[in-house]
A and B are shown apart, each in its own frame.
Chain A
Amino acid sequence: MIQWWNSLPIHVTDAIWTISVGATCAIACALLGCYLVLRRISLIGDAISHAVLPGLVLAFILTGTRNPVPMMLGAMALGVLTAVLTEALHRVGRVPTDASMGVVFTSLFALGVILITVYASQIDLDPGCVLYGLIEFTVFDTIGFGELEVPRAFLATGATLGLVLAFITIFWKELKICSFDPMLASSMGISAALVHYMLMAMVAMTTVSSFEAVGSILVVAMLIAPGATAHLLTDRLGRMMRIAAGAALSSAILGYLGGVWLNTSVAGMIAVVSGIQFALAAMFSPRYGVIGKAVHNLRMGLQIVREDALGILWRLREREGRASISRPELERLLGAGWMTRLAMRGLQSSRLITASAAGDLALSGAGREEARRLVRAHRLWETFLSSELERSPQNVDESAHRIEHVLDSDLADRLDHRLSHPATDPHGSPIPRDDADDSLAKETPAR
């Protein structure tokens, strides 16, 4: 296995390692990011990713090594400190949360930069690298495990992903309850504050392990964008996390390929890909996307026009005894426009109306059933409004016109029963029954 791996060309293994580093930290970030997005504290990710800098430097100064464990601990401490200070300024100083976050993280970041420059001779922390990361270079710094050369960065991000997975699995219920209903969590004896600070510590750790790869600003994209993308696509937390992880993985792969193709920053490209994913979800998500919502509205609108057309045909036959109507006249009655034309086409293709050779339109058998259901719902509702809710018959048509599109036949039957099977509506028009034959329609007088 290892031999086979080592026999691969070096650029292939490098590519796979780079993608692995990107994917592990992207997935770890995305999983935690779901909670940040749901709890509307996404920006604490931005704040923490800046504020951990002094923690890193202090850990380095204190231990004198680049051993990742103390550095992680320093970063986690600073991450929690950021959350605590933000909360303290908000509570003690009555500063709005966003402003207190801004004060805290810019100050801590400034402190970190000063520490770096003061101890510059001892630290090879490049502030630029901290900001935008150099994932391409992570493959040059490896540790050997026997035959296998593993990039140091992958060890860090892989271990982080493992810890994040363990954290989420162990505290799944607590995190879930605290994300959706902190009050309920408190009443169940779960300390929402403790869960919050643990989450902050995890965010800090993940941020730091991603520094080398993607830097402190682009890690924000990894934290927030996949979670937000998933939030647009589903309402269930478990599925949200799977979608976010999938988005993160694909952003790492596509980001790498794009970065190599354009010969540019892979880390930046990963952020751009997650941004594109988010934009696509915001546009095309079936339920929450801009276009998804527009399509939904259009379909509703079309259905209403279609049903109105059926209703007109029914009433025409009822009042004037005409079974058919010319297409231009029907379109005029419905209000001419592309919606109407589209609706007519839909009605014909679903065979609810038929066109004669001369182009006149008439209800088909199925269309008559559908129209009867609609008119029945309309008139039953009118009767209900005027007899049970005592609205004057002049005022019931508007409401019935709206409700006929949503009143199903079961509800209509109940209304019918409740009103003891009325024969006519308040205007005197007959209420069609399911078993009524068409002759009923002919003998009614106009209202």
Chain B
Amino acid sequence: MISYNTAIVLIGTSILGAVSGVLGCYMVLRRRALLGDALAHAALPGLCIAFMIVGARNFVALLGGALVTALAGSWMVTVIPRRTRIKEDAAIGIVLSVLFGLGIVLSRMIQNRTTEGSKAGLDSFIFGKTAGMIAQDIYVISAVGLGVLALIVLFYKEFKILAFDQDFASVQGWPVLWLDGLMMGLVGVTTVIGLPAVGLALMAAMLIIPAAAARFWTDRLLVMIILAGIFGLLTGLLGTAASARWANVPAGPVIILVGTGIFGVSMLISPRRGVVARGVRHLRLRRRIARQNLLRTLYELSEAQWPEATRLTPLDLMKERAWDPAGTARLVKAGLREGLIEGDADRFSLTDTGWRDAAQVVKVHRLWEIFLIEEAQVAPGYVDRDAEQIEHVLPPDLVDRLQARLVELDLLPKPLREVPERHAALAPIERVAGS
């Protein structure tokens, strides 16, 4: 059974995680991932100034002050690259560190003036005092979180345009500057309420990691937002739960590492953009190309004797294609397994299936060659040498013409000439449609 305190912290971090995951999507898509970090640091001087003015720990005033300098920081990050030759990365770095420095200066001055230990307050601001969350924090976080989510739903279309094509948005007459300001305001508010709870480093991470993880799974904004929200929520939940087990480990870093874990898993196993999936696709492609290369080589070495099958050795293949022995042996083994060749690994010849497949591969290859040689002026838009089936890439009448040229030049693979009807895929589509 979890204690009341743990429950409070669980709820707080997961709501915060969900909201910043959602907002982070826009930051990641707009290549502004590190702006959240800058905002978080820029909040410090505002917090100190508000503390100096209001004096006591007036929660709302402190957050208001923090928000003001955070937004001023984000404004500077946009203005500096526009008005000077300094690029955005340097602008972010300068704003982040200089405003943080100002915050340190101010906070030390506060510490000197007041006798009460406000250094603890500052430390919790930087590292977060996750375990010290109270019910009031939850109310603030939930209220702000709901408000932010509501605004995101309300301005969904506008933010979407902003995220993907800002120029288009301004051409269409959207008030880009205001929308941008609103978006930064939302990020600022979320950052500022999150800071005392989870600290600087965690806030930056929460804005980046769930969104970057969600990006692996989808190309659609809505799905990405929902996923990032869920990832953020999970990060908060699991991280808090994990840190509750070890008493003296601060929750913030554990939460970050849980997020990193989710990110890592997403990067590995997501079906389309994941590393494993892309590796498998890459491997398949390589295998397909290797098979095609084997068939073509076998065909070219056997063509003269057709229809008699030529007995070949690995050495023949290696001489023809400059392959290495190990790779050749692997290819031959694969060919035997697939029934393309018969015999053993040292002496083999094409089977009937082998002849047919090889002839097909060679024909497509020669069609491509003819295409590149004779129709080269249209080639650049169409060149996709890997296409197994040329008719998917080129218009049917062109394939027909190329095939006619192949016959004319006596390059059509012999096994195909003897086949009474032409390969269905190569029959002109009009004729198929007309019959």
List the A side residues contacting B205 at CB < 8 Å.
102-103, 106-107, 110
Residues of B within 8 A of A (CB): 28, 31-34, 37, 41, 80, 83-87, 89-90, 92-94, 96-109, 112, 123, 126-127, 201-202, 204-205, 208-209, 211-212, 215-216, 248-250, 252-254, 256-257, 259-260, 263, 267, 273, 275
Could you say which of A42, A89, A113, A221 contacts B250, with CB atoms under 8 Å apart?
A: A113
- C-alpha spacing A101/B37, complex, angstroms: 12
Complex: chain B residue closest to A50, CB-CB: B201
**A16: Cβ under 8 A from any B Cβ:** no
List the A side residues contacting B28 at CB < 8 Å.
96, 99
- Most central of B104, B107, B109, B259 by chain A CB within 10 Å: B104
CB within 8 Å for A228 and B104 given contacts A99-B33, A107-B205, A128-B126: no
- C-alpha spacing A220/B208, complex, angstroms: 20
Is B256 in contact with A96, judged by CB distance below 8 angstroms?
Answer: no
CB within 8 Å for A275 and B256 given contacts A106-B201, A107-B205: no
List the A side residues contacting B256 at CB < 8 Å.
106-107, 109-110
Interface of A is mostly: helix
CB within 8 Å for A282 and B83 given contacts A103-B212, A225-B94: yes
Interface range on chain A (Cβ under 8 Å from partner): 35 or more
CB within 8 Å for A289 and B90 given contacts A46-B96, A96-B33: no
Other 19 A-B pairs with CB < 8 A, given A132-B100, A217-B96: A40-B90, A42-B93, A46-B37, A92-B267, A96-B31, A103-B212, A103-B263, A106-B201, A113-B201, A114-B250, A128-B126, A218-B100, A220-B96, A221-B93, A225-B94, A262-B109, A265-B101, A269-B105, A271-B97
Is A111 in contact with B253, judged by CB distance below 8 angstroms?
Answer: yes
**Which residues A111-148 have CB closer than 8 A to chain B?**
111, 113-114, 117-118, 120, 127-128, 131-132
**A349: Cβ under 8 A from any B Cβ:** no
List the B side residues contacting A275 at CB < 8 Å.
94, 98-99, 101-102
- C-alpha spacing A100/B212, complex, angstroms: 8
**A263: Cβ under 8 A from any B Cβ:** yes
List the A side residues contacting B34 at CB < 8 Å.
43, 46, 98, 101-102
**A224: Cβ under 8 A from any B Cβ:** yes
**A160: Cβ under 8 A from any B Cβ:** no
Nearest CB on B from A147, distance (A): 34
Is B216 in contact with A46, judged by CB distance below 8 angstroms?
Answer: no
Could you say which of A36, A89, A263, A274 contacts B112, with CB atoms under 8 Å apart?
A: A263
Complex: chain A residue closest to B258, CB-CB: A110
Is A221 in contact with B126, judged by CB distance below 8 angstroms?
Answer: no
Could you say which of B41, B92, B209, B273 contacts A217, with CB atoms under 8 Å apart?
A: B41
Nearest CB on A from B34, distance (A): 5
One digit per residue, 1 when the CB lies within 8 angstroms of any chain B CB and 0 when it does not, for chain A 288-326 equals: 111000000000000000000000000000000000000
Is A225 in contact with B85, judged by CB distance below 8 angstroms?
Answer: no
List the B side residues contacting A40 at CB < 8 Å.
87, 89-90
- C-alpha spacing A274/B95, complex, angstroms: 11
13 A-B contacts, Cβ less than 8 Å apart?
A37-B86, A46-B93, A96-B28, A113-B250, A120-B248, A127-B127, A217-B41, A262-B105, A268-B101, A269-B105, A275-B94, A282-B84, A288-B84
Could you say which of A107, A109, A227, A268 contacts B105, with CB atoms under 8 Å apart?
A: A268
**Which residues A204-243 have CB closer than 8 A to chain B?**
217-221, 223-225, 227-228, 231-232
